Amino acid sequence: MKKKAGEENYKQLDLKRGVDFIGITCVFYCHDGKGNLLMHKRSARCRDEVGRWDVGGGAMEFGETFEEAVCREIREEYATEVLDLKFLGAHNVLRENGEIKTHWIALIFTARVDPEEVRIGDPEKVEEIGWFDVYNPPSPTHSMVPSFLEMVKKEILQK
């Protein structure tokens, strides 16, 4: 696989996104256009919040647009294409993972996908997937899911 310009620089220094410098992540709340959210249960191989239900997300790669990053991540995680994508906003995400402080800028999106096309695309990190009513998500959820859920509800339920 061809390396992208700039990618080797931080890897040679062994810098970690979100820990040694601010990371940029695209977070996506996939939905079916009928008030249901696609969520996945985090596997034992995830770096944190194992066993919790989460929406999709992933770090941007050098040279990608926001939209390209979201579409790539959705293909990787859920093996499907985006039918409609909406940007909802950007937010600071300051957390602690054990004793390690992390700082990410989260770009929040809603993405309408075809439920018939969705499947697990990353079995190492995704234990199972399911569709849930936006008002009744599964429990427990990833700690950041509730932070943006009200904003997401307004977007995906507007007619």
Residue 101 resides in a domain? yes
Half-sphere exposure of 93 (CA within 13 A, CB side): 23
Instruction: Give the pLDDT score at 1.
Output: 46
Q: Model pTM greater than 0.75?
A: yes
Residue 17 resides in a domain? no
Beta-strand pair 23-31/100-112: parallel
**How many domains does the chain contain in total?**
1
**Per-residue pLDDT tens over the stretch 112-152:** 999 999 999 999 999 999 999 999 999 999 988 998 999 99
Residue 139 burial (10 A CB sphere; 0-12, 13-18, 19+): exposed
Confidence label for 20 from pLDDT (cuts 50, 70 and 90): confident
Residue 83 resides in a domain? yes
Phi, psi of 157 (to 5 degrees): -100, -5
Residue 85 resides in a domain? yes
Residue 38 resides in a domain? yes
For residue 128, what are the contacts with CB-CB under 8 A and spacing of at least 6? Answer: 40, 41, 120
Amino acid symbol at 111: A
What CATH number is attached to the domain comprising 40? 3.90.79.10
Residue 138 pairs in a beta bridge with none
Spatial contact of 23 and 111, defined as CB atoms under 8 Å apart? no
- Residue 2 DSSP label: P
- Mean pLDDT score of the chain: 90
Alpha-carbon distance of 125 to 54, in angstroms, equals 11
Residue 153 pairs in a beta bridge with none
Residue 102 resides in a domain? yes
Domain that holds residue 114: 24-157
